[in-house]
């Protein structure tokens, strides 16, 4: 697999995923800048923190897909599957971020907010968009899986990364979205949290498992690339995917028992 930096991808492969990466970076910059002049809090957290975190997550998500598509042959990059994936993800991304910005501007919750028919409908649309955003990389991975220019380990890593991320996220995020919040238990006022991430260090928190489920898409392709460069067989990828899934389910079960990832 060809190693490319994101600027190189932008020059060599100005795909929809590169453009989406740039858009997410722009939104991240806007949220950080806006937070400097809007100090309002929601549940003791700056109102623009959630849009900022989502923007950063989208930067990683789309940059990963931009790097994958940049490593494909020109014919594969023009695949209809990649075009469909890019278009669907662009609509889902813009819809999701528009609602997050709207709710932050009003200092209202975007998630678990069913207070009015509008908020109920918007939350359902966000859920559908989230499913599409984790499902569409499977189309990209399917194209990459047939790419003879990539090593066997890299192809396996991309394929298993997309599948595992989709499956784990459906379970963890699906469970979380059907509840009333991401905590299992009630944290006391001013309770300790893990720095920057904001995960509870006092009660169970479903977000660490959600984080792990999303980022199989990054880790497993890297393991595949490492396998190709070190001469390891591609069959280690399914084994790595299994271990990763077990770790994620372990963190998920820990949260369901009301235990924090790390107690501070």
Domain boundaries, the chain: 1-150, 152-264
Output the pLDDT for position 13.
47
The pTM for the full model equals: 0.91
Output the pLDDT for position 155.
97
Apex 201 CA angle, 259 and 240, nearest 5 = 65
The most distant pair of C-alpha atoms in the chain lies apart, rounded to whole Å, by 57
- What single DSSP character describes residue 44? T
- What single DSSP character describes residue 15? -
Residue 246: count other Cβ atoms within 10 Å of its Cβ: 10
3-state SS, one letter per residue, for 142-211: HHHHCCCCCCHHHHHHHHHHHHHHHHHHHHHHHHHHCCCCCEECCCCCCCCECCCCCCECCCEECHHHHH
Output the pLDDT for position 3.
47
Which has the closest alpha carbon to 59: 97, 24, 13? 24
pLDDT in tens, 156-173: 999 999 999 999 999 999
Ranges in the chain, pLDDT < 50: 1-13
Output the pLDDT for position 14.
53
The helix (run of H) or strand (run of E) holding residue 45 is strand 45-46
Output the pLDDT for position 195.
87
Torsion of the alpha carbons at 195, 199, 202 and 206, rounded to the nearest 10: -160
């Amino acid at each position: 697999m060809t190693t490319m930096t994101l600027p190189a991808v932008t020059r060599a492969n100005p795909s929809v995923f590169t453009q989406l990466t740039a858009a997410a970076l722009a939104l991240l910059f806007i949220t950080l800048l806006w937070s400097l002049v809007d100090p309002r809090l929601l549940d003791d957290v700056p109102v623009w923190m959630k849009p900022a975190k989502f923007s950063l997550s989208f930067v990683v998500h789309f940059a990963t897909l931009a790097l994958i598509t940049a490593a494909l042959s020109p014919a594969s990059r023009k695949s209809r599957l990649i075009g469909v994936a890019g278009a669907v993800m662009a609509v889902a991304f813009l819809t999701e971020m528009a609602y997050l910005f709207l709710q932050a501007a009003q200092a209202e919750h975007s998630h678990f907010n069913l207070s009015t028919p509008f908020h109920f409908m918007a939350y359902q649309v966000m859920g559908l968009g989230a499913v599409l955003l984790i499902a569409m990389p499977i189309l990209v991975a399917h194209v990459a899986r047939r790419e003879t220019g990539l090593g066997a380990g890299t192809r396996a890593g991309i394929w298993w990364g997309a599948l595992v991320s989709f499956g784990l996220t459906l379970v963890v995020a699906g469970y979380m979205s059907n509840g009333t919040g991401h905590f299992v238990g009630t944290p006391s006022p001013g309770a300790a949290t893990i720095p920057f991430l904001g995960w509870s260090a006092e009660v169970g928190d479903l977000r660490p498992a959600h984080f792990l489920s999303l980022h199989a898409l990054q880790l497993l392709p890297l393991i595949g690339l490492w396998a190709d460069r070190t001469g390891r067989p591609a069959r280690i990828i399914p084994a790595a995917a299994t271990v990763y899934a077990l770790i994620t389910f372990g963190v998920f079960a820990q949260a369901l028992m009301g235990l924090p990832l790390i107690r501070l």
